[in-house]
Structure formats: structure tokens, C-alpha cells
Amino acid sequence: MPEFRLTQISDTHLARRLTKLTDNFHRVSEYINATRPDLVINSGDVAFDGPTSRDDLEFAGTLHNALPVACRYLPGNHDIGDNPTKVGPPPSQPATEQGRQAFLSIFGEDRWRFEAAGWCLIGLNSLVMNTGLASEAEQFDWLASQLSSANGRPVALFLHKPLFLDSPDDPELAATSIRYVPMPARSRLVEMFGAVDLRLVASGHIHQRRDFTFGHVRHVWAPSAGFVISDAKQDVIGVKEVGLVEYRFQPEGFEVRHARAPGQIDVDLDSLLGAATKG
Ligand SMILES: [Fe+2]
Ligand SMILES: [Fe+2]
């Protein structure tokens, strides 16, 4: 395969009652239907509130199954619960094996590896990291065996949470620790991927578009496909807009294109929740 075209969507946060987010998903679906990539990846927060509402996961699953292109998924904190961190307060919905199993039953594997256009593409469940769940250790063992067979191929990593803000040595701060892969899992990942030709880390979760390079690795934060978070509730780090990201992988390199589906609207979380509460 000379070229592999991949579209990353993220943070769709689908729920039957949140029709503005469903509308944005339909605009994304139409765009995918028009552009026909080889694969769509949803990098997590597929559902609005999976840990509380299985119906949100099922609704999201139904909409994704209607896409005209094959799809792979990674869980987000709003799908299976969140990571505990060393410095922040305990999450109100910690990631659980039960939540993970619900995700698996609807979306399939929460970690995957495949090869395309000379690349090795790996997806990880970032929400089991630092939980102590059995699946956390299993995933690290699985990852070690996958990386040992990369055989010099360039590697692209997909996961819900970004690895870090600017650098692997960023301190973990109480106020922002839930934004990134928690320590010590972050250091372990950086060390493991340091042994292979890592070129790209693609994440979601922040609901801001960002694209920067650290060392030889490009870090792409996909925006939410569904909504943005107000400046009163969240720092401005990148660009607050809804959209998606398109990649073209070739044996000699890759291209990134930041895009928006025609008709996608920058729904604000505050207006969304207000509208939902009012009925
Ligand atoms: Fe999200
Ligand atoms: Fe998230």
C-alpha cells in the first residue's frame, strides 16, 4: 500500500439527548463519506457519559457503525472513567474493569496495533494507566512485545490523553494532572517508545487543536468533533474549535492536515448543558 489515509476524530461525546453533538457527528459523517479515508480512529470520549449511562455508549456505537469506513476506537475518561494521579484529587469516576468491559463489548479492542504504508500504528488505552488494574500491566506487557517487533518501522502512537504539555519532564501539577498521561506511566511510555522510531503521538481529550514537535516526535492534539470548553473553565493552550485531523502515511514520511467538516458548529459546553437541563 503506497499511501494510507487516516482520519482522526475525537471527543464526540455522543448521547441521545444532546442533539447538537449528534448534528456535529452527522456533519463529520458526511465529510468522511465524501473523503473516504482508509480508516477512521476515534481517540476517545466517544460517549458523553459512558460510566453512568450504557445507553450513551450504545448510541455512540450505533452512529459509528453507520459510517461508510472501517473504524477503530480508544477509550476516554468519559467512556470508562478516569485515571488516579499522585498529585490531584481522586477522580469522581475512576476507571474500572467493569467500565472497560462495557466499552469492549460495544467498540471492540481498547488497544491495537497494525501496519500500513510501511508504518506501525499503535493505539493504547490511556485510562487504565496508574490504576493498578490487571489490564494496565497486561497492556504494558502487550506493548513491549509489539514494540519488539516494530523492526525499524516508523511508529505512530494514538491515545486519548496527551503524553504531556510541552516536555516529558513537565512536573505533574494538581490542577492539570488529569489532562495528561499520569506519572509514572508517562515516563515508562517515553522510555519504551524511545527504543523505536516514534514519529507521531496523536491524542484528544483537551478539546483544543494543537500541533508541535518535541525532539523528533510530532504531537498532534485533535480537537473535539463535538464541543469546545469556555475560557472560564479551561486555559487556552491551543485552538478552541471543533474539527478533525487527516493523516497521509507513506513509507518515507507522513502529512497532517487540520480540517473541519462543512457545517460543524463550535458548540460551547455551557450552552449544551444549559439546553439539556432545560429539556
Ligand atoms: Fe472529551
Ligand atoms: Fe477526555
CB 239 within 8 Å of CB 26? no
CA of 248 to the centre of ligand 1 (A): 25
Q: Measure the CA–CA gap between 9 and 12, rounded to whole angstroms.
A: 7
Q: Measure the CA–CA gap between 121 and 201, rounded to whole angstroms.
A: 10
CATH code of 194's domain: 3.60.21.10
- Residue 278, SS3? coil
Q: What is the predicted pLDDT for the residue at 279?
A: 43
Owning domain of residue 243: 4-278
Give the total residue count for the chain: 279
Where do we find the cell 489515509? 5
Q: What are phi and psi of 271, to 5 degrees?
A: -70, -30
Q: Identify residues whose C-beta is under 5 A from ligand 1, the ion.
A: 11, 45
CA of 13 to the centre of ligand 1 (A): 7
Q: What is the predicted pLDDT for the residue at 222?
A: 98
CA of 208 to the centre of ligand 1 (A): 10
CB 113 within 8 Å of CB 146? yes
The count of domains in the chain is 1
Q: Measure the CA–CA gap between 199 and 219, rounded to whole angstroms.
A: 9
CA of 11 to the centre of ligand 2 (A): 7
- The segments of the chain whose pLDDT lies below 50 read 278-279
CA of 176 to the centre of ligand 2 (A): 13
Write the CB contacts of 34 (distance below 8 Å, at least 6 apart in sequence).
Answer: none
CA of 257 to the centre of ligand 1 (A): 21
Q: Identify residues whose C-beta is under 5 A from ligand 2, the ion.
A: 45, 76-77, 205
Alpha-helix residue ranges (DSSP H) falling in 195-254 = none
Q: What is the predicted pLDDT for the residue at 273?
A: 82
Counting ligands in written order, which one lies closest to the CA of residue 11?
Answer: 1
* Digit-coded pLDDT (tens) for 198-210: 999 999 999 999 9
CB 11 within 8 Å of CB 126? no
